[in-house]
Amino acid sequence: MERGESISLPDTFMPDFHDKDAVLRMPYKTLGQTGLKISALSFGASSLGNVFRSTNETEGIEVVREALRQGINYIDVAPWYGHGLAEKVLGKALEGIPRTAYYIATKVGRYQPEVDRMFDFSAERTLQSVDESLQRMGLDYVDVIQVHDMEFAPNLDIIINETLPALRKLQQSGKARFIGITGYPLKNFRTVLEGSTIKIDTVLTYCRACIHDSGLRDYTPFLKEKGVGVINASPIAMGLLSNRGPPDWHPATKEIKDACAKAAVFCNDNGCDISRLAMAYTLGFPGVDSTLFSTASLENLRKNISSVYNPLSSKEEEILKEAIKRYIDPLTKCHWEGVEVEEYKRQLQGIHNQGSFKLG
């Protein structure tokens, strides 16, 4: 058990709502210096916004409630997920559940599907966004308010000098308890944490503490030194580490996709599910306070929770090590930093060029 872990009942435990035995089985860690004791497995509500596939709202609502009953007490959402839909469905799911039974984190900065309306890190839009999120979810406050995918800002100075001070105002007003930053490029966390005069309590990244990419390991000592809580999302790397494979839009290089596909086949041929191995790998990743996953399926929810209680067998551990040795270690580059930002800039420039032509 790592320092900060606990098997005692968390502050979010409600006798009339929770399955006490399940809560006692769930490991909890303190999120940085926030004092929040959060579950080792946390729930990402992006699936409620039909981000990955069309989902059944009724089942999605039950997934949230069952996740909470089973001891998951940290939920992450954003206006971007379904462009408000995920927050609305989440609000329905939380109706009637005591507010003290869970922690909620949402985000600012990323909003609409249109490229020229997708991002806005201005102070004015930031303040407005939080009010909109609270209204959608039917809440008076969130526990953590985060800057969403800050690498898409024109520059990080805007995050440091405008977005974060706006979040501090929200914190002072009581609409948010703690402040976080999120993104894919790891070096940005160091830049913003060292440059900000606003205290940052949490960071959230994704696909960086996974079988194919353990890059977060190089940053966790710095983050812990800063007293920052660390959340890693997408243990199966947005489908890379699954038998189904990633969606067409996945930004990984062909080299990474091919290596992960071969690893999945190798695991399957040896009687192992690569998704289970991937979850176990991330759950055991040092320096991570919680692993964030998303689903709108009760079956997948139970499968993910089961991963917490059922460690890998010796055979599964051997297959995992061999898969990494054969297919992952030879990778020349294990991440796709910059790919999505460059594509976004290319599309944005195209829109600006069209506008200039029309004006001319």
- Catalytic residue positions, numbered: 81
Q: In angstroms, rounded to a whole number, what is the distance separating the alpha carbons of residues 333 and 30?
A: 33
DSSP 109: S
Q: In angstroms, rounded to a whole number, what is the distance separating the alpha carbons of residues 339 and 327?
A: 22
Per-residue CA distances from 90 to 57, 137, 268, 310 (Å):
10, 6, 35, 29
Q: In angstroms, rounded to a whole number, what is the distance separating the alpha carbons of residues 75 and 342?
A: 30
Residue 146, Cα to own-chain centre: how many angstroms?
Answer: 11
Residue 263, Cα to own-chain centre: how many angstroms?
Answer: 24
> How far separated are the first and last CA of the chain, in Å rounded?
66
DSSP 119: B
Q: In angstroms, rounded to a whole number, what is the distance separating the alpha carbons of residues 297 and 56?
A: 9
